[in-house]
Structure 1
Amino acid sequence: MKDFDALKDIWHSQLAAPRLSYEDILKGIRKSKASFANKLLVETIGMFFAIVLFALIWLDSSSMMWTTHLSLLIFLVCCLYYLFVQVRDYRSISNSEHLLKEPEEYISYLKDYRRKRYALNTRKYTVYSIFIGIAFGLYFVEIYFSSPLWHTIAGIVAIALWFIICWYLMKTYIRREQERLTGMIEKLERLEKQFSTEHN
């Protein structure tokens, strides 16, 4: 019986979670946060250049059908919305450093942030994609009337392929982003649990 108890004690000691270093966890959280903020910044800069490109195309083209003007307006509004969201999220994650002093508050902030990002990348992205699709459809009205039929068909096929690729990449993007945020939350929760057991 003593051997069995000793074996049970060894087994439980091996299953015990390793102690976490507060400094290591915070260093990892800060690194993940900085990496995430940098990714948002790069996406924001990319969207800014897309807005400038659409504006230049719109200003440079003198003769356009009303459908083309409407399509470029939809493109610009969609890009401006995306730019606004990315800037807001970048500022939010960058300015959350002070919350690290309060782990419970930071965990709550990250959970809320993860939920909002998931909603943005799923429901809001679907609406965004529908408007982009409408803009492309309106743009191809002019292509249909001013170019050979094969240009229109090739363009529609290319856009359809682009949407399929974006859908696939978006699924991967959502999974990685959620994993990164979940990893940050889990590390903080383990640290908080460790502190609560130490003080009891």
Structure 2
Amino acid sequence: MKDFEHLMTVWQGQPVKEQLSVDEALRQVKKGMGGLRSKTLQGIIGISIALAVTAISLLFSVFTSWASYIGLLTLIIGMSIYLSLQIGDYRTISSHDPTIDPAKYLETLKIYQKRRAYLYDRFYYIYAVIITIGIGLYAVEVLEDKPMMVKVIYYSLTAAFIIFCSLFLKDRIIISEKEKVKLIIEKLERLKDQFEG
């Protein structure tokens, strides 16, 4: 009997889960998703500009080395694949309104979360290799008549930048985005549990 009373005391001492205000939770979800949509759209615009500049260079510049053409073509292929993934993600998070059907929106967010995990965990390194090869091949002709010191500085800075993005910047962006998406999913799941429970 003592154990039962102790169990009751512990159970009653548990904090009661605070009920979420539906309006407040949906407002926070919309605000969070607005930020994600904005960042994704900025990425789409940025890669589109880079892709356009690279395509114009490929079409209107005259190079003597085949390596420059292959390098630019490699850059275009890599950026096109990345752009298509970004557009797909943007469509995924923009396709439903959380205020109309939160349960469907929750499923959409989980799909978005999986797509982003693929983008950051697997495709990013493929993309980095494609871009590195493209830049390396393009730079062969551009740096052909430059002094060795300029070549060393260029390739060192390029390698340092790619390593910095891959090891430091990418992880900070990923962690920030994963936390935002996780928080939004948790809010929607709590709302769903409130209505089902």
TM-score (normalizing by structure 1) = 0.86
- Match of 1:84, as an amino acid? S
Structure 2 unaligned regions, length at least 5: none
1:116-135 equivalences under 5 Å are 116-135=115-134
Residue 113 (structure 1) shift:
1.4
Q: Which has the higher helix share?
A: 1
Structure 2 equivalent of residue 111 of structure 1: 110
Residue 145 (structure 1) shift:
2.8
CA distance in 1, matches of 2:180, 2:50: 27
Runs ≥4 in structure 1, deviation > 6 angstroms?
4-7
TM-score (normalizing by structure 2) = 0.87
- Match of 1:26, as an amino acid? L
Map Cα deviations across residues 47-76 of structure 1 (whole Å, 9 max, x no partner).
111112212333443233100110001111
What is the percentage of aligned positions where both structures have the same residue?
30
SS at match of 2:19: coil
Structure 1 unaligned regions, length at least 5: none
SS at match of 2:42: helix
Residue 162 (structure 1) shift:
0.7
SS at match of 1:153: helix
CA distance in 2, matches of 1:21, 1:118: 30
Q: Does 2:190 correspond to 1:190?
A: yes
Contact 2:58 / 2:72 at 8 angstroms: preserved in 1? yes
Residue 102 (structure 1) shift:
3.5
Pair 1:44–1:8, CA change in 2 (3 A): same
1:10-159 equivalences under 5 Å are 11-12=13-14, 15-97=15-97, 100-159=99-158
Q: Which moved more, 1:41-50 or 1:142-151?
A: 142-151
Map Cα deviations across residues 82-136 of structure 1 (whole Å, 9 max, x no partner).
2222222212211221x65333332222112101111011201111111111112
CA distance in 1, matches of 2:148, 2:39: 40
For these two proteins, the number of residue pairs brought into alignment is 193
Map Cα deviations across residues 19-73 of structure 1 (whole Å, 9 max, x no partner).
1101111111111111111111111111111112212333443233100110001
Contact 2:54 / 2:75 at 8 angstroms: preserved in 1? yes
Contact 1:54 / 1:75 at 8 angstroms: preserved in 2? yes
- Match of 1:19, as an amino acid? Q
Q: CA RMSD in A?
A: 2.2
Contact 1:143 / 1:151 at 8 angstroms: preserved in 2? no
CA distance in 2, matches of 1:28, 1:128: 33
